[in-house]
A and B are shown apart, each in its own frame.
Chain A
Amino acid sequence: MFDILQSIIPTVLFYSAPLILTALGGVFSERSGVVNIGLEGLMVMGAFVGIVFNLTFADVFGVWTPWVSLIAATVIGALFSLIHAVASITFYANQVVSGVAINMLALGIGVYLTKVWYDKGQTDMVNQPFYTTDIPVLSNIPLIGTLFFEGVYVTSYLAIILAFVAWYVLYQTPFGLRLRAVGEHPMAADTNGIKVERMRYIAVLLSGALGGLGGSVFALTIASNFSHSTIVGQGFMSLAAVIFGKWHPLGAMGAALFFGLAQSLSVVSAGVPVLENIPQIILLIAPYLLTILALAGFIGRADAPRANGVPYIKGSR
């Protein structure tokens, strides 16, 4: 039993981290009332920037390269999400359509520039990815230390910590209150002097930053290079985590951990007694099926922020 846990838990943390980060971005955006189908594209952009930056500046930054790459991907991700913000907040575009366009645009730009810069469809493998480490001190705790803090990626804990930070920001600060108000009842918020458009811009930029971070974490821990098939569905799975987690940062983290578990089970299932008999296909589609069941109300009711997806046009009722 202990051996099985020891093989599963680090894998779960490893697969979940990008989903957690991106889902947190989704929570911010949707809590402010902007639907973000574009999470997939934001992750693609993050993965692309993370890899290209890493390849280009590995000599300059040495062992710090992966960390600086994450920062670069976060910044570019935020800038890229500005397109979604401008289209859907300022120009009242259909937010789902704009999100779909973000997804196509990110993949198009990423692969286009890859071909222009590297003359082939995929980049080289990075020399400075993240490596697994033992977390100092904590890994010395008996049992728990071996399970949770040995041979893990530091980025996994970054994701979990950020989930708590996001919860604090959304639920314990005036900023979070305003952000949620804007997503529930923008007119009332406006009447109270909250700048609806500005709050939504900030929220969408945060989703871009976190989506870019999530994508680059995926690229620098799991994929190690960039091609058209680096990010295939992780963004949509993060979106599913947002909904499954009922638009709550910690709920989204829980859902992302669960989806990470589902993914890692299909990887490690061969060695686990009970799981060997479950067909791989069930584990593969489990996250999607569960999201449908959750939405259909079979796993507790989840209500979206009331103004989610509705452009706010000042003066209209």
Chain B
Amino acid sequence: MAAATPDTALKRTPLYDRHVAAGAKLVPFAGWEMPVQYEGVKQEHLATRATAGVFDVSHMGEIATSGPDAEAFLQHILSNDVTKLQTGGAQYSVLCREDGGVLDDLFTYRLGATDFLTVTNASNHEKDFAWFAKQAEGFDVEVTDVAANYAMLAVQGPQAREIVGAISDSPLPDRFTCRHKMLRGQKVLVCGTGYTGEDGVELLLDPADAPMIWDEVVRRGAVPAGLAARDTLRLEVGYHLYGNDLMEERGPIEAGLGWAVKEDTGFIGSDAVRAVRDAGPSEKLVAFTMESGIARQGNPVVGGGEVTSGTMSPSLEIGIGMAYVPAERAEVGTELEIDVRGKVRRAVVARKPLYKK
């Protein structure tokens, strides 16, 4: 329980001063000094479910892809069918190695016919950009690391649209679409996306505008929420966290992301992914609920497999998690035993999302 030592090498978002003023507990995360919580994880989690939470996700990275071959290039590296992505649309996909291992999971926004923006996980951003740049050879495309150009706020919850709508010059985009809007006179890319299972928007904006927009949404009732609440929210709805539930050593089919993978597009890794889909994966990522206690990442599942994410669900008030288990034990309703630090605890494979309105 040693106190964290300040690390001057950590990057700070443009909202750092706001976090300090709000009493945030700041922790190192993927090279950034990020708010893990403010008043308390449970309260922030439940506020997001009941009203609205605002999350500083400026640590996430952005890659711009433009040029005549932009669509063809992204089709070559992303698992989803990029040709189905309309201008103003958003699409989830994974980035695979040749052997099908997952390098990252990403949201790509189509801003124009030959103009795309892809949001990367903070921990993977440099790796992703290097991969984009390397694979771009031979395509008439310009790939640019634009992470420094953007701050990012996620406003999530049943009142999120009302809160952001109140400072927008025009109606907000629908789910899985994005539009440039003027928020309090500043140009912001407003996206109908998020990672909490709630309706809401993500705002990609000039870092200089971020504190003003943060203040506006907080004043209108969005509760500052940290990375810990973001993690419990996403886990309740069964969304993957890279580094926990997704990794280079496993593929998207095992992870249950087959819906975001279109092998017919011939993306890098598609042959390997197709082989797994055809043969059936030997293990699958499942969601589970605990009978008692809390399983944590790394806890072994008795008989094979391991927990990749585990926490106490603030909404359900039970232990929940995700685990890779042998495929024959992945059916909903299958009873699992998890070795939680030497104590065998019972869990059951549950349908996603674990939390429903």
Report whether chain A binds chain B: no
A interface residues, Cβ below 8 angstroms from B: none
Interface residues of B (CB under 8 A from A): none
